[in-house]
Amino acid sequence: MEGRFNWAGVIDFLPQLGTGLYYTLLISIVGLLIGFILGGIFGLGRVSKNKIVYGLASVYIEVIRGTPVLVQAIWIFFALPLITGYNMDSVTSGIVVIALNSGAYIAEIVRGSVQSIEKGQMEAGRSLGLNHLQTMRHIIWPQAFKRMIPPLGNQFIISIKDTSLLSVILVPELMFQGRLIASNYFNAVEIYTTVAVFYLAITLTLSFVLRIIERRLDIK
């Protein structure tokens, strides 16, 4: 085994992998932030009594959940410009994909958490004279948010891993850089192992942070 793989040589590629890591984090963070906003809006749409709002939210969620991320990415990057006549660069497209995709799943997390709050909480709020919005804001939402954290963390991890699929639409993220290096230098084992370790480092860090947040909120 000794000498067959050049692990030390990986160091030379760290700057390039670092660039990839930068894009992976950029797309994950911006995409998930927008996804979180979309999820909040469409999740509340799914608990709305308004039929149109409910219908729109449902269509969005079903379309996204019913199609693969890879298809969504390719469609948005290659097909959408042919319809709109407007070209989006690959990084923007990548952010859009992650935002739209995570938004649908986060919407379901929001819906599930809001609906998991006992009916009596809304009734108690309303019987005190708070209006629907005030009750949502001060009573339902804070409790639902707490219950959202574990499944949200899960979704964040899934979305971060999904960014690796964006290499097919030429987003210069971690996986893309790895493939570029490996195909030029024939060091697939070293490079793909390193890439995997990078992803693991991100997701483990996130898990760790989430566990701390959960514990903090639990004390209250």
Partner 1 sequence: MIKVKDLHKNFGENEVLKGIDCHIQPSEVVCVIGPSGSGKSTFLRCLNMLETITSGDVVVDGQNLTDSQTDINSVRTEIGMVFQQFNLFPHKNVIENIMLAPKKVRKLTDQAARDRAMKLLEKVGLSEKAEQYPGQLSGGQQQRVAIARALAMEPKMMLFDEPTSALDPELVGEVLEVMKQLAHEGMTMVVVTHEMGFAREVGDRVLFMDNGLIVEEGNPDQLFNNPQSERTKGFLNKIL
The Cβ of residue 40 has, within 10 Å, a number of other Cβ atoms equal to 17
Given 138, 186, 200, 211, the residue binding partner 1 (CB under 8 A): 138
Residue recorded with tokens 């085994």: 1
- For residues 174 and 21, is the Cβ–Cβ distance under 8 A? yes
Given 3, 66, 85, 129, the residue binding partner 1 (CB under 8 A): 129
Residue 116 in the binding site for partner 1 (CB under 8 A): no
Residue 123 in the binding site for partner 1 (CB under 8 A): yes
Question: How many residues interact with partner 1 (rule CB under 8 A)?
Answer: 19
Residue recorded with tokens 């995709």: 101
- Determine the 3-state secondary structure of 195 from DSSP: helix
User: C-beta of 220: minimal distance to partner 1 in Å?
Assistant: 7
Residues 6 or more apart whose Cβ sits within 8 Å of residue 57 = 42, 43, 45, 46, 48, 107
Closer by beta carbon to partner 1, 141 or else 156: 141
Closer by beta carbon to partner 1, 4 or else 220: 220
Q: Which residues of the chain form contacts with partner 1 (CB under 8 A)?
A: 118, 120-121, 123-131, 134, 138-139, 142-143, 146, 220
